[in-house]
Amino acid sequence: MDLAAICIEPLGSEHDRSAFSCGVPALDRYLREQAGQDARRRVAAPFVASSDRVTVLGFYTLSATSIQLTEVPAALAKKLPRYPRLPATLLGRLATDLSARGVGLGRFLLIDAITRAVRSEIASFALVLDAKDETAASFYERESFIRIPGTPIRLLRRMDDLAALVGGSRSGASA
Ligand SMILES: CC(C)(COP(=O)(O)OP(=O)(O)OC[C@H]1O[C@@H](n2cnc3c(N)ncnc32)[C@H](O)[C@@H]1OP(=O)(O)O)[C@@H](O)C(=O)NCCC(=O)NCCS
């Protein structure tokens, strides 16, 4: 598969999700049955990857969330204001079709999600995600996401670091 030919765009009615299979039935079902409703109700923004703008080969979702300061790893928390909750961006789901595995599509989707999160004008100090198991967690740890202690498998990475990774910058007041 040529990643240069892959288009990642918001889920629309033209996208065919019926054959999508990532090996995790709950994620397949979510894409088929729930993602469209979540988009309409603005509780999640699903983005899909395809080479023909129709057949979905991968997807992810982004939503606003917040995390408690007490959840943030200590080394990072000491650089943050003492607000009880901090704004963050949730990478809710990310999956690739079994037919498109091991060619870099998962990482391509992750970089696209990071790029969109970094570009947002809504303040968010980190990208947060819940890995469904240890295998998924190691996929994100390869990209320097760190575990939030005391949670099942929740990981985060600072938006500043991610902005540097994708060559974007978070706009901020200079005063
Ligand atoms: C996790 C998932 C998205 C990875 O997608 P993919 O298209 O196979 O990943 P890529 O080809 O982009 O791989 C990127 C790198 O991560 C590694 N990697 C891929 N899957 C991995 C996994 N499950 N665990 C650890 N590392 C993994 C690859 O070896 C590759 O490393 P390399 O660049 O050194 O070769 C895919 O396996 C998937 O959809 N799994 C089912 C759903 C799931 O678990 N989603 C995670 C969210 S909870």
Contact of 36 with 56, CB cutoff 8 Å: no
59 belongs to a structural domain: yes
Range list of β-strands (E), the chain: 7-10, 45-50, 58-68, 85-96, 126-130, 146-147, 154-158
Between 43 and 167, the higher pLDDT residue:
43
Instruction: State the average pLDDT for the chain.
Output: 94
53 belongs to a structural domain: yes
Range of the domain at 105: 3-166
Query: Mean per-residue pLDDT for 34-52?
Result: 98
Pocket of ligand 1 (CB under 6 A): 22-24, 27, 94-96, 101-107, 131-132, 135-136, 138-139, 142
pLDDT(152) > 90: no
**Ligand 1 atom nearest 102 alpha carbon:** 11
Q: How far does residue 170's CA lie from ligand 1's centre (Å)?
A: 27
173 belongs to a structural domain: no
CATH of the domain at 83: 3.40.630.30
116 belongs to a structural domain: yes
Query: Among 31, 37, 3, 7, which residue's Cα sits nearest to residue 19?
Result: 31
Structural domain count, the chain: 1
In this predicted structure, what is the pLDDT of residue 173?
52
87 belongs to a structural domain: yes
Query: Among 95, 89, 108, 105, which residue's Cα sits nearest to residue 157?
Result: 89
Looking at the chain, the whole-number percentage of residues with pLDDT higher than 70 is: 95
Phi, psi of 38 (to 5 degrees): -60, -40
Query: Mean per-residue pLDDT for 157-175?
Result: 78
Kindly provide the b/e burial profile for residues 38-47, where b requires at least 16 CB atoms within 10 angstroms of the residue's own CB. Answer: bbeeeebbbb
In this predicted structure, what is the pLDDT of residue 149?
83
In this predicted structure, what is the pLDDT of residue 170?
59
pLDDT digits (tens, 9 = 90+) for 87-101: 999 999 999 999 999
174 belongs to a structural domain: no
| Apex 120 CA angle, 87 and 162, nearest 5 | 75
pLDDT digits (tens, 9 = 90+) for 52-71: 999 999 999 999 999 999 99
172 belongs to a structural domain: no
Sheet containing 7-10, strands listed edge to edge, beginning at the edge strand earlier in sequence: 7-10, 45-50, 58-68, 85-96, 126-130, 154-158, 146-147
Among the residue ranges 26-30, 95-99, 115-119, 168-172, the one predicted with the least confidence is 168-172
**Ligand 1 atom nearest 101 alpha carbon:** 8
pLDDT(174) > 70: no
Six-digit token string for 172: 């901020």
171 belongs to a structural domain: no
Q: How far does residue 144's CA lie from ligand 1's centre (Å)?
A: 14
- Mapped onto helix, strand or coil, the DSSP state of residue 87 is strand
Looking at the chain, the whole-number percentage of residues with pLDDT higher than 90 is: 89
